[in-house]
Structure 1
């Protein structure tokens, strides 16, 4: 079974057209590839925290997670976001099955070494037998990135990093769905999409401020995945019709990230 892990960002969730979910369902129903969705929910978490008057901070694009923030994050991610995504999939002919990294210890994590981040984790193990079982029953797994450590403590894991860990475990292609056409750079006075990029160029773009905020963990998780035998990663604009199908069919869409390749603009 060939898998593709699709990470759906919280910033684009409420903008995604029905065609996106149709694409996911079509990939699944054709039987040629098995989609697995991993989703975030940062903007809705921020709005909910604000409404509840809970302070929130970020360090290098990652949310600082106190116990109070973790409770809200789990409510939003494993509740609202996860079940809405499953619903939208099923409305377009997909058979979604929602779960979090806590369920069955699907995603086993350890707490970050950076104490400033609080209850933030790094995925150390993916129990892929759970995913294989769901797939065998005809489901499309939809995963919320709330995880658990060996002692049973819950941890918030960045969704980009969780998606990369799942892709590594499944040796699957990794596709980040965003609301932009890829990594944007200035070239000869024009803003263009960086069609292909490499690890060394990404570090340079981070250093010069071209890549900032939440894009930093996205591209670094992509590189880490590539180092761990993920065959291909790409950042796609989910608002463009059939961009997901075009990627799977080998078209030059979005920004393809490689360890080493030629750099190109479109």
Structure 2
């Protein structure tokens, strides 16, 4: 069994060793994750140190070549290898990949490229490369840097969007989004509560009303894009909860499940 997991870079620093131990146990059981990761805060910190200005437009980082150099360095180098090390330390084996490797994530500019620059959307996934890594018993860890069809132009891809594309094209049944929040929150009777299940239509209404905003919008948009073909659901969970991956795969009601209808 395979499942796709997305983990944010800010979440990664807070994940306990127990999270990776749980993942390693799943690998022993033949339940292999395919990980797509982000690294926004680390990218911002490095850009600041280098004196390179950055800004966000509707949750997406405005990217030029200078910013892209830093994005690739931090994601494919620093963050990617940190995840590989932590998985290895927990007793499983992982292989770090960038979307540039063997055309793993073929990409093209997003529709509003005139506003955000070199930000891309995934048009194709080299599923054969992922299958080969998984068949050898390794956990693929993917940094979301895309490559244009010309084989030269790189693109900065939102990690949530990349994870959704990977899950969709691999036909996995479930996408698990590991964050630093327990799920999609909504204020009910003056109290914020986790919604156990939401539909695509409800998400659109919550975006319209402002209940879902900022960086959460790309997460739920990616989830909506992902729910097609064999993908049945997307689950948003907190990575600090005990045995969260095992609990999700065992069908326990944790976090927020996003379903088609």
Q: TM over 0.5: same fold? A: yes
**Per-residue Cα deviation, 1:200-247 (whole angstroms, up to 9, x for no partner):** 111111112211111101001101110343122110100111111100
CA–CA distance in 2 between the matches of 1:218 and 1:123?
15
CA–CA distance in 1 between the matches of 2:196 and 2:135?
36
C-alpha deviation, 1:180, in angstroms: 0.8
Q: Which residue is 2:160 aligned to?
A: 160
CA–CA distance in 1 between the matches of 2:62 and 2:182?
28
Q: Which residue is 2:146 aligned to?
A: 147
Change (3 A) 1:174 1:250: same
C-alpha deviation, 1:251, in angstroms: 0.3
Structure 1 spans left out of the alignment, 5+ residues = 261-266
CA–CA distance in 1 between the matches of 2:100 and 2:229?
23
Q: Which residue is 1:51 aligned to?
A: 49
1:112 to 105, 110, 113: 110
Q: Which residue is 1:5 aligned to?
A: 4
CA–CA distance in 1 between the matches of 2:147 and 2:23?
28
Q: Which residue is 1:180 aligned to?
A: 181
CA–CA distance in 1 between the matches of 2:210 and 2:135?
45
CA–CA distance in 1 between the matches of 2:125 and 2:46?
29
Q: Which residue is 1:15 aligned to?
A: 14
Q: Which residue is 1:79 aligned to?
A: 77
CA–CA distance in 1 between the matches of 2:232 and 2:192?
28
Q: Which residue is 1:103 aligned to?
A: 101
Q: If the length of structure 1 is used for normalisation, what is the TM-score? A: 0.95
RMSD: 0.9
Q: Which residue is 2:89 aligned to?
A: 91
CA–CA distance in 1 between the matches of 2:150 and 2:129?
20
**Per-residue Cα deviation, 1:172-200 (whole angstroms, up to 9, x for no partner):** 11000001100111112211101110111
C-alpha contact 1:3 1:170 (8 A) present in aligned 2: no
**Per-residue Cα deviation, 1:24-73 (whole angstroms, up to 9, x for no partner):** 21111111x22111100001001111111111111111111111110000
- Count how many residue pairs are aligned between Structure 1 and Structure 2: 258
Are 1:135 and 2:100 an aligned pair?
no
2:68 to 67, 70, 85: 70
Q: Which residue is 2:29 aligned to?
A: 30
CA–CA distance in 2 between the matches of 1:27 and 1:165?
23
Secondary structure class of the residue paired with 2:196? strand
Secondary structure class of the residue paired with 2:124? strand
C-alpha contact 1:3 1:171 (8 A) present in aligned 2: no
**Per-residue Cα deviation, 1:79-134 (whole angstroms, up to 9, x for no partner):** 00000000000000110100100000011111112121100110000011001111
Structure 2 spans left out of the alignment, 5+ residues = none
C-alpha contact 1:49 1:56 (8 A) present in aligned 2: yes
CA–CA distance in 1 between the matches of 2:115 and 2:157?
14
CA–CA distance in 1 between the matches of 2:24 and 2:250?
15
Q: Which residue is 2:218 aligned to?
A: 217
